Structure 1
Amino acid sequence: MVDVQRDFLPGGALGVKDGDAVVPVLNRYITRFVAHGLPVVFTRDWHPPEHCSFHAQGGPWPPHCVAGTTGAAFAPGLMLPAHAEIVSKAATAIADAYSGFDHTGLAERLRARGVRRVFIGGLATDYCVQSTTRDGLAAGFSVFVLDDAIRAVEVQPGDGARAVAAMLAAGARLIVSDELEDAPA
């Protein structure tokens, strides 16, 4: 589950249109994974107040997901299973990270658990979902993007569709919850 945080929801510091619509869909996926004893991982932006991606430091974004603030909290209603892993990224002032795999050790921890396939949903399609997908593929995982559980920022119209096309071209597969049981090994 990629960056389903308050600041990325409508009305947040960097709100994604209809971003809150992914919460009930992700909850269905989470319920299914927990019922099968599968690992569930949540990534989050966890920025210091002077993060390099913020406008004041010359970055492209307004301040968002500052560690420990309400904006950095997970979305209201998002299920957080007791044994879920939380991966904090971009937690230093001098380095940005869009991917949940970027300097987090996530790939190694997943491999140690015998994980071969990852299923990615969350916010935002055209940034952190796309980067996490590409890095998951580069790490050797089969990657399924949860098409019914992603939304795009759309800084430029069509960014979301271009991101989906790029993920598919890189080798990811799109899936919706009804198809989950049929996902190939």
Structure 2
Amino acid sequence: MKIPEKQKIASFDVDSQKTFTPLCPDELPVREGDKIGPELNRQAGLAAYRLGSKDSHSPKAVWVTEDPDMVGKPGVEGDNVEEHWPVHAVPGTEGFGLVPGLPRPADYDFFVWKGVELDMHPYGACYHDIGENMSTGVIEWLEARGVTHVLVGGLATDFCVWATARQLQQAGFQVILNRAATRGIAEESIAQALEAMEQAGIRFIDSCDELERAA
């Protein structure tokens, strides 16, 4: 796969947090979610800019449930919340941290904290609200620097990665999903997300090997 000069490429680590890994089994663990750090770092090496995002949630958010049967199910009141979830990604906890091997947020070129408000739980990193009216600044920041292509990885493939990739693609960037730098929750929902991404014009690589060979 051919890509443009490095100055036109950004790399995005979407919600690559311990909360979505087996390191925090009581939160929202994704199988092998803690293994993506090295590939995300390789991906960043191919780009001029590195962006990241984190979920940042209160344990008192309106969508919090302690009932396992309610996890992932709708029924929460509010315009900016869609499903119930257990407590996760609380600032100051182990789960809030990035997966092993990644830089500190301060070392990224741009970083987003999402879902801070008690009644807001966005999935994509480009907007604070589900209606996609309140920008986080990601799109504008990339446009101002002349970025045309965005390499995307993170957690989880079938939720926040898919939502962020879609938002970036719709904003006019060519998004490339690095399969080796992401993990998902369930085979069925991963397949559905990948199909939707392909239909949206998002491209895929199995790993950075494909881009390094083409460089």
Shorter-normalised TM range: 0.7 to 0.9
Matched, 1:74 2:86: no
Residue ranges of structure 2 left out of the alignment (5+ in a row) = 1-12, 67-74, 77-82, 129-135
Alignment match, 2:3? none
User: 2: distance between equivalents of 1:27 and 1:105?
Assistant: 23
Aligned-residue offset at 1:83: 4.3
* TM-superposition CA deviations, 1:15-41 (whole Å, max 9, x none): 1011112112112222343xxxx1100
User: 2: distance between equivalents of 1:133 and 1:52?
Assistant: 26
* TM-superposition CA deviations, 1:155-182 (whole Å, max 9, x none): xx41112111111111100022012244
Query: Whose Rg is larger?
Result: 2
Alignment match, 1:5? 17
Q: Indicate the SS of the match to 1:134.
A: helix
Q: Indicate the SS of the match to 1:109.
A: helix
User: 2: distance between equivalents of 1:85 and 1:144?
Assistant: 19
TM-score normalised by L of structure 2: 0.76
Alignment match, 2:45? 31
TM-score normalised by L of structure 1: 0.87
Q: Indicate the SS of the match to 1:158.
A: helix
- How many residues of Structure 1 are paired with residues of Structure 2 in the alignment? 177
- Measured on the aligned residues, the alpha-carbon RMSD in Å equals 1.9
Q: Indicate the SS of the match to 1:153.
A: coil
8 Å Cα contact 1:30/1:79 also seen in 2: no
The residue type equivalent to 2:160 in the other structure is: C
User: 2: distance between equivalents of 1:160 and 1:53?
Assistant: 23
Matched, 1:93 2:131: no
Q: Indicate the SS of the match to 1:40.
A: strand
8 Å Cα contact 2:23/2:34 also seen in 1: no
Identity across matched positions, percent: 38
Structure 1 consecutive aligned stretches of length 4 or more whose deviation exceeds 3 Å: 56-59
Alignment match, 2:175? 143
The residue type equivalent to 2:21 in the other structure is: L
